[in-house]
Amino acid sequence: MKKKLIVANWKLNGNIEMISNYLKFLKNNLLSNLNKNIIVIAPPNIYLERTYQSIKKINIFLGAQNVDVNLKGAFTGEVSVLMLKDIGVKYVIIGHSERRILHNETDNFVAKKFHLIKNSNLIPILCIGETEKEKKNGKTQKVIEKQLNCIFQILGEKAFRNAVIAYEPIWAIGTGVSADPEYVQIIHKFIRNYIQKNDSVSKNVIIQYGGSVSSLNTKEFIQQEDIDGLLIGSASLHAKEFLKIIKISCSID
C-alpha cells in the first residue's frame, strides 16, 4: 500500500470555536489505524499551538502555511522556521500560488525558504503549478521545470530527500473545478521523472495533488499511480468532509 499524505490547508479561516469543535470531532472519529498514511493540519499561525495541543495526542501532524526567509532579527510581523519547530510544526507549505501571486514570491525566494526548512529538519511542501494561460499555451512542463530547477540550484542533488511536492494547477484552486485525474497523473509522472533525472536519491518523493479536492473526487485522484496524497483547501474546513477524504484515501492501495 502506498503511503499517502493528506494535508488540510485552512488558509485564512477558522476561529477558536471552530477549531475546538473540529478537533474534538476528529479525535472522536479518526481511524485508529491510518495504514501508514500521514495526516497534517495547517491552521493559521495564531492557532498553531492550540491545534498542536489537541492533535499531538492523536495521529495528526502540525503544518504551517508559510515561513519567513530569516531566522531571527528585525523583521516585524514575520515568523521563523525555528519558531515553528519550537512549537511542534513538522511540515511547512511554501510556494503556494496565493503567496506567489499576492505577495510576489519568486521561485528564488521560495527556494531560500525550502533550504531553511530542510536545514531545520522540517519537511517542506513545495507547491508548484501552472496558470490557465500557461496550460493553454502548452507551457505546463516548462513552468514546472523552472520551479524545480531553482530548488536544485540551491540544494543540489539531494534536494528532494524528505521533501514533498504539491502539484496545484492554479486554475483548479478554489474554483470547484478540479483537474482531470488522468491529466494530473501525467504531470506527476513528469515531475517524478524530472526529479529522478536530476536527483538519484529522492526517487520516492511524495507528490500530492491540490485544487478543488473533495470527498467526491478523492478516490479518482488517489487511485492514480503517481498521486501520493492531497493538499486540500476549502473542503478541509469541514471536519466531517475532511474525515471522509481521510477514510477514502486510507481505504485505497
Residue 251, annotated as binding a ligand: no
**Cell reading at 249:** 484515501
Distance CA 48, CA 151 (A): 27
Q: Which residue, 114 or 152, has its beta carbon nearer to ligand PGA?
A: 114
Cβ 56 to ligand PGA, closest distance in Å? 24
Among all chains, which residue has been given the C-alpha cell 515568523? 79
Longest dimension (CA), the chain: 48
Distance CA 185, CA 176 (A): 19
Q: Is 249 near ligand PGA (CB under 6 A)?
A: no
Q: Is 129 near ligand PGA (CB under 6 A)?
A: no
Q: Which residue, 155 or 207, has its beta carbon nearer to ligand PGA?
A: 207
Q: Is 9 near ligand PGA (CB under 6 A)?
A: yes
Residue 24, annotated as binding a ligand: no
Q: Is 210 near ligand PGA (CB under 6 A)?
A: yes
Q: Which entry of 78, 96, 105, 220 is annotated as an active-site residue?
A: 96
**Amino acid sitting at position 192:** R
**Cell reading at 202:** 529522492
Q: Which residue, 34 or 173, has its beta carbon nearer to ligand PGA?
A: 173
CB 209 within 8 A of CB 227: yes
Alpha-carbon dihedral 110, 114, 115, 119, rounded to 10 degrees: 150
Distances (CA, A) of 215 to 170, 171, 178, 219, 236: 20, 20, 12, 8, 10
238 among known catalytic residues: no
Residue 54, annotated as binding a ligand: no
Residue 171, annotated as binding a ligand: no
Cβ 99 to ligand PGA, closest distance in Å? 10
Applying CB under 6 A, which part among 75-83, 134-142, 168-176, 245-253 lies near ligand PGA?
168-176
Q: Cα dihedral sign for 44, 62, 216, 96? A: positive
In the list 75, 103, 174, 193, the residue contacting ligand PGA (rule: CB under 6 A) is: 174
Cβ 198 to ligand PGA, closest distance in Å? 25
Q: Is 105 near ligand PGA (CB under 6 A)?
A: no
Closest CA to 78 of 68, 69, 88: 68
Three-state DSSP class for residue 243: helix
Q: Which residue, 232 or 246, has its beta carbon nearer to ligand PGA?
A: 232
188 among known catalytic residues: no
Residue ranges binding ligand PGA (CB under 6 A):
9, 168, 173-174, 210-213, 231-235
Residue ranges at the known binding site for substrate: 9-11, 174, 212
**Active site residue ranges:** 96, 168
